[in-house]
């Protein structure tokens, strides 16, 4: 199986950063998630209950940032990956977190991580 569910450009507001000024403001983050999911069952049933609920994934990520204020993107990415994989039971995910406009010479900075085993 090589199916996945894709969420691209999820915008969240977060208090994140290592500098004092960053701890006083909310910054916009952009997330991309590619999550392994067997799409044969929802395709056959045409029932949303069999699909990976991408709205619920988005809500869970947004809620995580509302409840936590990490200093590093790496900390956020590890925690979010573990939370999503545990809650939704996906065997693999690829997560990109971008922090736009932080470095004047770059459109964004960020990290990419992959966790689990892609089936």
Residue 99 falls in the annotated catalytic set:
yes
- Spatial neighbors of 16 by CB under 8 A, at least 6 apart, are 22, 27, 29, 65, 69, 70, 71, 72, 73, 76, 99
Catalytic residue among 37, 99, 114, 117: 99
Q: Is the dihedral of CA 16, 20, 23, 26 positive or negative?
A: negative
Work out the angle between the directed axes of helices 54-67 and 73-88 (0-180°, nearest 10): 140
Residues with a catalytic annotation lie at 99
């Amino acid at each position: 199986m090589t199916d996945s569910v894709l969420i691209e450009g999820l915008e969240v507001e977060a208090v994140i950063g290592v500098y004092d000024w960053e701890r006083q403001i909310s910054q916009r983050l952009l997330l991309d998630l590619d999550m392994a999911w067997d799409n044969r069952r929802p395709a056959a049933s045409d029932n949303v209950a069999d699909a990976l609920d991408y709205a619920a994934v988005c809500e869970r990520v947004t809620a995580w940032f509302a409840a936590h204020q990490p200093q590093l993107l790496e900390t956020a990415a590890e925690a979010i990956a573990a939370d999503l994989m545990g809650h939704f039971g996906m065997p693999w995910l690829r997560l990109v977190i971008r922090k736009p406009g932080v470095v004047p010479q770059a459109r964004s900075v960020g990290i990419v991580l992959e966790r689990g085993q892609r089936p």
